[in-house]
Homo-oligomer: A and B are copies of this chain.
């Protein structure tokens, strides 16, 4: 079994109230020098079998239709995850 990581971030021109809230809290907790925080989403998607180009294309399509809202978000990464399940993927 392979794993694909999908990362989605709000578009730069879109207000990000969650990121703004984090950014406001950091100085109160003693963390300085941070000028901006933006918060997005990270998905770990486990697939049957190895992560082929076909699987990646399917996940990319799902990322752009179901995992993100293309009006306000960008899919910034769709990538095979080589860490946890890499050995399974290679032997599959």
Contacts and interface: CB of A to CB of B under 8 A. Distances in A.
Interface residues of A, number: 35
Interface in A42-58: 42-49, 55, 58
- State the number of copies, please: 2
Contacts of A38: 43-44
Contacts of A55: 33
Interface string A47-72: 11100000100110110011100000
A7 B67 contact: no
B35 A47 contact: yes
Interface centre among A8, A26, A44 (most CB of B within 10 A): A44
Contacts of A67: 22
Contacts of A22: 43, 66-67
